[in-house]
Amino acid sequence: MADPGPRSLLYEGLMLPALVHSEQSLRYAQFGFQVRDSDVFSVTYPKSGTTWMQELLTLIHSDGDPRLAQSVPSWERVIYTVRNPKDVCVSLYHYSKMASFLEFQEDFGEFVELFSAGKVLFGSWFQHVRGWLGLRDRLNFLLLTYEEMHQDLRGRVERICRFLGKQLDARALDGVVANASFQAMKQNKMCNYSLVPENIMDQRVSPFLRKGVPGDWKGHFTVAQSQAFDRLYREQMQDVGVRFPWDEA
């Protein structure tokens, strides 16, 4: 995975899955796509709560009713969700093994090295997070963490609603929280990707929605791997001016 092959596309230094991206579509997104003032962007590095935030925004837009959730809401806002990079690494590793189209062969130790160097699909976690954190002082930017959402989902939903100017009554709020729970999403075919053919995603290898809990990295990283990554993390993140929940551990 360190070098782009027939399953990957290298676009302006960023490695992307060729199955869902083409150079033509990427150039259109970069130069031709017209952003409207009413658009909302949910931004994450892969495996950082992307599907979770998409479902939350859809449920908020539909007042907590999953039957009415048919489109992403359109507000002029950017919501950026970030997750402990060690958990991201573990989740992305299992995704890479499950995603048949990637033909991924490396073991976890090799993957940690690739992830640390930013030589994985979608590039460096550090560059992605540092780049977006540079926008955090903008009025239309909301920074959330996966860990805070896991600890207090209702409180974070209320915060998202305030940010979007969306008022939900108690019943609608209950619906959002219930339908955005890990167990509910694991049973939702629109979230669990179970309709995707096995030659693209073989969920016999690993489910798309695997565990959904913070701290899973502790069962994967060796002590040496954890210490090496911690040193890299301190070097890369020392001047970002933000402390995350995992920084306190």
User: Sign of dihedral through CA atoms 159, 164, 169, 172?
Assistant: negative
- Return the domain boundaries, the chain: 1-31, 35-238
Nearest to 45 by CA among 114, 99, 111, 122: 122
What's the rounded Cα separation, in Å, for the pair 112 and 223?
13
What's the rounded Cα separation, in Å, for the pair 249 and 240?
18
pLDDT tens column, 54-104: 676 777 766 665 654 444 344 467 888 899 999 999 988 988 887 766 777
pLDDT score for 79 = 85
Residues 6+ apart with CB under 8 A from 230: none
β-pair partners for 44: 81
| pLDDT grade for 128, boundaries at 50, 70 and 90 | very high
pLDDT tens column, 151-210: 998 999 899 888 888 888 999 888 888 887 777 665 655 555 554 556 566 556 555 555
Give the DSSP letter string of 143-203.
EEEHHHHHH-HHHHHHHHHHHHT----HHHHHHHHHHTSHHHHHT-HHHH-TTS-TTT--T
pLDDT score for 149 = 87
| pLDDT grade for 214, boundaries at 50, 70 and 90 | confident
DSSP-based helix, strand, coil % in the chain, nearest 5: 50, 10, 40
Q: For the chain, what percent of residues have pLDDT higher than 70?
A: 68
pLDDT tens column, 45-54: 776 766 677 6
Label the pairing between strands 14-17 and 8-11: antiparallel
pTM, two decimals, is: 0.67
What's the rounded Cα separation, in Å, for the pair 160 and 167?
10
pLDDT score for 233 = 97
| Options 2.170.120.12, 3.40.50.300, 3.90.1010.10, 3.30.465.10; CATH of 35-238 | 3.40.50.300
Question: Average pLDDT for residues 7-33, to the nearest whole number?
Answer: 74
